[in-house]
A and B are shown apart, each in its own frame.
Chain A
Amino acid sequence: MKSTKFSELSQEQVDRKWWEIGDFFRRNSLWMLMYCTGCCAIELPPAMTSAYDMERLGMGPMATPRQADILLVSGYLSLKTLRRLIYTYEQMSEPKYVVGLGSCTINGGIYHDSHAVINQLDQYVPVDVYVAGCMPNTEAVMNGFVDLMDAIKHKTANGWKKYRDNYDWYRQNQIASLGEVEVHDEFHE
């Protein structure tokens, strides 16, 4: 009887194969945690409902950070929200991806000179895909999701690894803008 012979694969190669398989399934079933802080969030109802029907791409909303793959930041973030966003991001399990909607997340948009909101999201958490526009139209939002899927396929959606490797740098930026990342309010104490 002829025996089936496989060439020996190193542990690294085996791991990479498994990651490729994992990535295939991951990118075809992305669950989003929508952090709708800004007005860009108004583009999500048409993206989710029958007009553009996000579910045909295998995407759906998720209720808790621990079960979600994507953190969707729609628009401007005040300092108060940024603290909660960092909490949320750190609760998510890896691999995790961040999508930033709107010019507010890119460079501050029309709120670039406001005392209340940050100007650049990627200083605090790594962003994998930005969708530009104020607000971006729904086609652009959908295109952003497709771009993210491509990035996962080509292994360029590495934000979560960057966060892990450069944690000190991110932490330093967070502290420089926020003073303190820990939340002290009536609900946390």
Chain B
Amino acid sequence: MMNSTNNALEVITLVESKYNVVKTEHISKYQVAFEVIREDIHSMLNFLKNSGWKQLSYLSAIDWPEEDKMELVYIVFNWDKGVHIQIRSKIDRENPEMDSILPIFPGCKYYEREAHEFFGIVFHGNPDSMKQLILEGWDDIPPLRKDFDPRAYSEAHFPQREYTETFIELNQQESKQEKRAARQAHIDEVRKGGKK
């Protein structure tokens, strides 16, 4: 019988002894996150794959416009220990590029294609990564970047239905909060028979 708490801790000791980890997060019994420098990602994924983290569960990115960085997230999973490991690394936001992990996890092919489409990240070494996947004939900046305005895009591209009458206006209603609080106070008072 394996102890899963120890599994997560074991992973932390194992990885920290081998790599220069910028930040470690012990999220839960089954989840650990490491922030590493970008050059370490390949060897670390290779190492984890050989230690049992055989499945690449997800690969995506987060946009941090304030820091001017794009953060890559790789999630790998171990079926024997039940532990997810997140590996994160910040890359340049203006021209985001990364070497593909295709030789390590062939399943990354479509994830990288998706990340290219939604964040504009270029993956060197993945021949398919520039092909379109979900958005066809996209004509704007990658839509999951924080500086993309979906509402403006929607208004510019898709006709909106015009309504001549406003049927329900929920936004302008006065707040019922005070009335509710007063009623609750009254209920409390009655319940206690007028005593404090």
Residues of A within 8 A of B143 (CB): 115-116
Q: Is B9 an interface residue (CB 8 A)?
A: no
Interface class of chain B by DSSP: loop
Residues of A within 8 A of B154 (CB): 108, 112-115, 119
Expressed in whole angstroms, the Cα–Cα distance for A81 and B139 within the complex equals 17
Across the interface, do A113 and B151 meet the contact criterion of CB distance under 8 Å? yes
What number of A residues sit within 8 Å (CB to CB) of B?
A: 26
Query: Which single member of A107, A177, A183 contacts B136 (CB below 8 Å)?
Result: A183
Expressed in whole angstroms, the Cα–Cα distance for A176 and B137 within the complex equals 13
Interface residues of B in 123-161 (CB under 8 A from A): 131-132, 134-137, 139-140, 143, 148, 150-151, 153-155, 157-161
Across the interface, do B153 and A80 meet the contact criterion of CB distance under 8 Å? no
Total A-B pairs, Cβ < 8 A = 56
Across the interface, do B150 and A173 meet the contact criterion of CB distance under 8 Å? no
Across the interface, do B139 and A107 meet the contact criterion of CB distance under 8 Å? no
Q: Is A55 an interface residue (CB 8 A)?
A: no
Across the interface, do A79 and B135 meet the contact criterion of CB distance under 8 Å? yes
Interface class of chain A by DSSP: loop
Across the interface, do B160 and A79 meet the contact criterion of CB distance under 8 Å? no
Expressed in whole angstroms, the Cα–Cα distance for A79 and B131 within the complex equals 17
Across the interface, do A83 and B136 meet the contact criterion of CB distance under 8 Å? yes
Expressed in whole angstroms, the Cα–Cα distance for A18 and B135 within the complex equals 46
**Lowest 8 CB-CB distances: which A-B pairs, in order?**
A113-B151, A115-B150, A107-B161, A115-B153, A119-B158, A179-B137, A115-B143, A123-B159
Question: Could you list which residues of chain A lie within 8 angstroms of chain B, going by C-beta atoms?
Answer: 78-80, 83, 106-108, 112-116, 118-120, 123, 173, 176-180, 183-186
Question: Could you list which residues of chain B lie within 8 angstroms of chain A, going by C-beta atoms?
Answer: 131-132, 134-137, 139-140, 143, 148, 150-151, 153-155, 157-161
Return 6 A-B CB contacts under 8 Å, by A number: A80-B135, A107-B161, A112-B154, A114-B150, A180-B137, A186-B131
Known A113-B155, A114-B150, A115-B143; 13 more pairs at CB < 8 Å: A80-B135, A107-B160, A113-B154, A115-B153, A115-B154, A116-B135, A119-B160, A119-B161, A173-B159, A176-B157, A183-B136, A184-B136, A186-B131
